A and B are shown apart, each in its own frame.
Chain A
Amino acid sequence: MPASLVDIAECGPRNEQASGRDRSPLLAVGIAGIGTWTRGAPDWPSLRALLRGEAGWREDAPARPAAGILPSGERRRAPDSVLLAAEIAGQACAAAGREPSSLPCVFASTHGELAITDYMCATLATAPHELSPTKFHNSVHNAPAGYWTIAAQCTAGSSAVTGYHASFGAGLLEAAALAVADDTPVLFAAYDIASSGPLAEMTRTTRAFGVALVLVPGDGALPQLAIAASSPGASVTAAPGCVADLANDNPLDAHALAFLNALAGAGARLTLPAASGLMLDMEIRT
C-alpha cells in the first residue's frame, strides 16, 4: 500500500503557467432577500440592528423558530433543524417577494440533525430494533430540504451539502454557481443546531443559528455579491465583537456573521473559506 495515494512528483512537472495565472472568474449575484434566526435575534431586522450596534439581544424572543410555512402538525413534530431551516428560508423568500415553489434550493449544514444523530447512536447501542422509523428518515442530511420542498410545493432541484468548517463558503459557492449556471434565482440556507449527548464533545456547537439568502443571477440587483478565488494564505475575516459568543460557537456561524455584518453596513470585502485549501474573496456592495 502506498503511503500517499497520488504521487504528483511522478506525474511530471506541474504546469506552472496553467496553475499560476489567476484565471478565477467572478461569480456575480444579487441578494434579493435575507432571513436569519437565532435565540435573541429571531429575524434579519433584529440581527441587523444588533450588528449595527442599534439594539441588543431580544430577551422576549421565542425559544423556537416559528417556521410558519410548515403545516401545524408537522411543526409540532419537526426536528429542530427542520424548524430552523424552514424559518430562515421562509423569511428570505418573503423578503425577496419570491414564491418558493419554483426556487431551486441549497441547504448547507456542518453536521446536520445533531439531536437525531445522538438519538440514533444511543438507541442503536442499546436497543437497535426499537429505532424510530420517523427519526430515521428525519436523520438524513436533506431532511430540512425535503420538508421545505413539501411545504413550499417546490418541485425544483434541492440539495443538502456540507463542507465541515467551511460549510458556509462551500454552500454559498454551490448556490451562487447554480444561480449563474442555470440563470435562475436560488434559495440558499446555512444553519447548525446545538449538539447533544456524547457526540457534543466532538461537534462543539451549542446554539442554533441560521441564515438564508435568495440569490439572483447577474450584477443588476443590490445588495451585490461578487465572489473570486483568493490566495490560500489570506486570513479569514472575523465576525464583529458584538456577536463574538455566537461566532465562537461554530465556524459556520462565524463565517455567516462576518458576511451578514458586511450586509448590515455599507458593504465590505471579506475573505471566507470554501474548502480547507480554498479561500474566497467576497465583495459586498449595498
Chain B
Amino acid sequence: MSKRIPPLAVTAYSATSALGRGVAAQAQALRAKQGGLRANDFSSAPLECFIGRVAGVEDAPLPQAFAHWECRNNRLAWLGLSQDGLPAAIGRVVARHGAQRVALVLGTSTASIGASEEAYRRLEAGQFPEDLRRPAIHTPHSLTAFVAEATGIAGPALTISTACSSSAKVFASAERLIRLGLADAALVGGVDTLCDSVLFGFNALELVSRQPCRPFDEQRNGISIGEAAAFALLERVDAAPMAPRLVGYGESSDAHHMSTPHPQARGARAALDDALARAGLAAEQVDYINLHGTATVKNDEMEALLLPRFSQDARASSTKGFTGHTLGAAGALEAVFALLAIEQDFIPPNLNCGQPIEGADEWIEREPKEQRVDFALSNSFGFGGNNACLAFARAEAA
C-alpha cells in the first residue's frame, strides 16, 4: 500500500478544448450542456464521425521567434499556455525559484505526428518538403521541447507518452520531483491534436462512433476523438495555502491486453486504491468522479464496476460527450474539470446519455448540478493497460 503524500497546491490551471479557450469557456459550456462535437471536417480523407475540434488553430500561427516549432500541436500548446494568467504564473515561479528549479512534465500520445503525416503526403523526390525538414517536430518530445523554449523553464523536462493516461501521469511524476527536492515547482499538462493517425487508427479498431459519443449510455457505440491543451502549475502548499490541492495519484498496469481493458477492472481498481491511499482518503469521502468514460462498450462497462465503491451522494460523469476523447491531453483536461468542480461547487454533467448502463445510473449525473465538492477524482486509462487516477481536494478539506 502506498504511503500518504504531502499535498501540492495547484496555483494556476487552464484548459482549451472544443468548448473554447480557457477555464471560463469550459465552465460555461458544461453548465449550459453545450457540447463541442461537430461532424468530422478534419481528416485528409472523408471519415464519417464526430470530432472535438478547437476552433481557430489554423488562424493562430506561432510568433516568428518560434516559427521553427510550427505545427498544429505546438500552436494548440501556445493557445493553451496563453490563457488564464498562465504566463504570469509561470514567470512568477521561474523568478522565485530559478528556471532550473522548475520542472516541466507533459503528456501527449501523438505530439506533432500530424506534421510527419503531412510531410509524407507532400514528399518531394522521396524526401520531406523543405518547410517540414525540422527534426525536432518529427519526434514525440516536440511538445515538451517547444514549451520549455517558450516558457524558459530549464529544470527536468520529460514527455510521458502512455497513450490516454499520459497527462494524468505527469502529476505523479511532478509530485515525486518536488517531494525529493529535485524541483521546487512544476508545470504539468497535456496537448494532443487531431491527426489522421488517431482518426483512422481508432476507426480501424472499430472504436469510433458515427454519432457524437454517448458515454455510459446503454446504446453507446464508440468514441469521438477530440483535441485539447491543458496545464497546471504545482507548488508546495506554503506557496498558496488556499489553492486547491493535488492530494493523491495512483498508477497501475492491467497486464491483460494491448487495446482492451481488464474486464473485472483489476488495473483501474488498483489505480483508484493507490490514489486513495496516497491521499489518505476513503472512497466514501469522494464527492465527484470525472470518469474516463470513453463511450466504448468495454471501457464504460469496466469502469462502471468501480462506482459501487462510492457513496450514493457522490456524483460521477464523463465529460467526453462535450470535448471528445482528447487522448494524451485527456488526463490534464479532465483534471481541470475536477479542479473546476471543487472551485465552483459544480458537477459537470454526463452529456448524450439517454439510459445509463445498469449499475451506473445511481452515480451518473446527467444534469449540471450545484453541489459542494471537497474531494474529486479523475480517471484515465490507456492502451497497453496503462491506468492513472488523480485525487484533488479543496484546501480547507485536505
Question: Which residues of chain A have C-beta atoms less than 8 A from B60's C-beta?
Answer: 1
CA distance A18 to B270 in the complex (A): 39
Q: Are A157 and B91 in contact (CB under 8 A)?
A: no
B 113-132 to A, binary, CB cutoff 8 A, 1 in contact else 0: 10011011101001110000
Stretch at the interface among B23-31, B34-42, B169-177, B339-347: B169-177
Question: Which residues of chain B have C-beta atoms less than 8 A from A117's C-beta?
Answer: 113, 116
B163 within 8 A of A: yes
Most buried by A among B138, B139, B152, B184: B139
A244 within 8 A of B: no
A 120-137 to B, binary, CB cutoff 8 A, 1 in contact else 0: 111011001101110011
Enumerate B191-206 residues with CB–CB distance to A below 8 Å: 196-197, 200-206
Question: Which residues of chain A have C-beta atoms less than 8 A from B101's C-beta?
Answer: 18-19, 23
A220 within 8 A of B: no
A 196-207 to B, binary, CB cutoff 8 A, 1 in contact else 0: 001101111000
Q: Are A27 and B182 in contact (CB under 8 A)?
A: yes
Question: Which residues of chain B have C-beta atoms less than 8 A from A24's C-beta?
Answer: 181-182
Q: Are A201 and B128 in contact (CB under 8 A)?
A: yes
Q: Interface size (B, Cβ < 8 Å)?
A: 98
CA distance A154 to B386 in the complex (A): 11
Q: Are B100 and A278 in contact (CB under 8 A)?
A: yes
CB-based nearest A residue for B108 = A141
Q: Are B386 and A145 in contact (CB under 8 A)?
A: yes
Question: Which of A159, A161, A229, A275 is close to B148, meaning CB atoms less than 8 Å apart?
Answer: A275
A 268-282 to B, binary, CB cutoff 8 A, 1 in contact else 0: 000000111110000
Q: Interface size (A, Cβ < 8 Å)?
A: 87
Q: Are B162 and A8 in contact (CB under 8 A)?
A: no
CB-based nearest A residue for B149 = A276
Enumerate B137-158 residues with CB–CB distance to A below 8 Å: 138-141, 144-145, 148, 150-152, 154-158
Question: Which residues of chain A have C-beta atoms less than 8 A from B158's C-beta?
Answer: 161-163, 170-171, 173-174, 275
B76 within 8 A of A: no
CA distance A167 to B141 in the complex (A): 9
Enumerate A228-247 residues with CB–CB distance to B below 8 Å: 229, 232
Q: Are A128 and B196 in contact (CB under 8 A)?
A: yes
Q: Say how far A250's CB is from chain B's closest CB, in angstroms.
A: 12
Taking A25-B181, A124-B44, A131-B201 as contacts, is the C-beta distance between A6 and B90 under 8 angstroms? yes
Stretch at the interface among A9-17, A30-38, A39-47, A58-66: A9-17
Q: Are B138 and A154 in contact (CB under 8 A)?
A: no
CA distance A120 to B255 in the complex (A): 26
Stretch at the interface among A88-96, A178-186, A208-216, A255-263: A178-186
Q: Are A146 and B140 in contact (CB under 8 A)?
A: no
Q: Say how far A263's CB is from chain B's closest CB, in angstroms.
A: 23
CA distance A170 to B141 in the complex (A): 11
A164 within 8 A of B: yes
Question: Which residues of chain A have C-beta atoms less than 8 A from B156's C-beta?
Answer: 170, 173, 274-275, 278
Q: Say how far A201's CB is from chain B's closest CB, in angstroms.
A: 6
B333 within 8 A of A: no
Q: Are B253 and A154 in contact (CB under 8 A)?
A: yes
Q: Say how far A122's CB is from chain B's closest CB, in angstroms.
A: 6
CA distance A198 to B257 in the complex (A): 32
A224 within 8 A of B: no
CA distance A166 to B113 in the complex (A): 20
CB-based nearest A residue for B65 = A3
Question: Which residues of chain B have C-beta atoms less than 8 A from A157's C-beta?
Answer: 169, 172, 251-253, 274
Q: Say how far B109's CB is from chain A's closest CB, in angstroms.
A: 7
Q: Say how far B98's CB is from chain A's closest CB, in angstroms.
A: 2
CA distance A8 to B397 in the complex (A): 34
Question: Which residues of chain A have C-beta atoms less than 8 A from B254's C-beta?
Answer: 149-150, 155
Q: Are B81 and A19 in contact (CB under 8 A)?
A: no
CB-based nearest B residue for A15 = B96
Q: Say how far A90's CB is from chain B's closest CB, in angstroms.
A: 15
A160 within 8 A of B: yes
CB-based nearest A residue for B387 = A157
Question: Which residues of chain A have C-beta atoms less than 8 A from B99's C-beta?
Answer: 8, 19, 277
CA distance A41 to B270 in the complex (A): 39
B78 within 8 A of A: yes
A55 within 8 A of B: no
User: Can you give 19 contacting A-B residue pairs, CB < 8 Å?
Assistant: A5-B81, A5-B90, A8-B91, A14-B95, A19-B99, A111-B140, A117-B116, A120-B117, A128-B45, A133-B205, A133-B206, A141-B109, A142-B161, A147-B258, A149-B385, A155-B266, A198-B128, A202-B139, A203-B135
B interface list, Cβ under 8 A from A: 2, 43-45, 47, 60, 63-65, 78, 81-82, 87-88, 90-92, 94-101, 104, 109, 113, 116-117, 119-121, 123, 126-128, 133-136, 138-141, 144-145, 148, 150-152, 154-163, 169, 172-173, 176-177, 179-182, 184, 196-197, 200-206, 251-259, 266-267, 270, 274, 382-386
Given contacts A12-B92, A128-B47, A173-B182, 20 further A-B contacts (CB under 8 A): A5-B151, A8-B91, A10-B88, A12-B95, A18-B96, A18-B184, A19-B97, A19-B99, A111-B140, A121-B116, A128-B43, A136-B205, A141-B161, A142-B162, A161-B160, A162-B159, A177-B182, A203-B139, A274-B157, A275-B104
A interface list, Cβ under 8 A from B: 1-8, 10-15, 18-20, 23-25, 27, 101, 104, 110-112, 117, 120-122, 124-125, 128-129, 131-133, 136-143, 145-147, 149-150, 152-164, 166-167, 170-171, 173-174, 177-178, 180-182, 198-199, 201-204, 229, 232, 274-278
The list of the 8 closest CB pairs from A to B, nearest first, reads: A146-B384, A19-B98, A157-B251, A277-B154, A136-B201, A141-B161, A11-B91, A275-B157
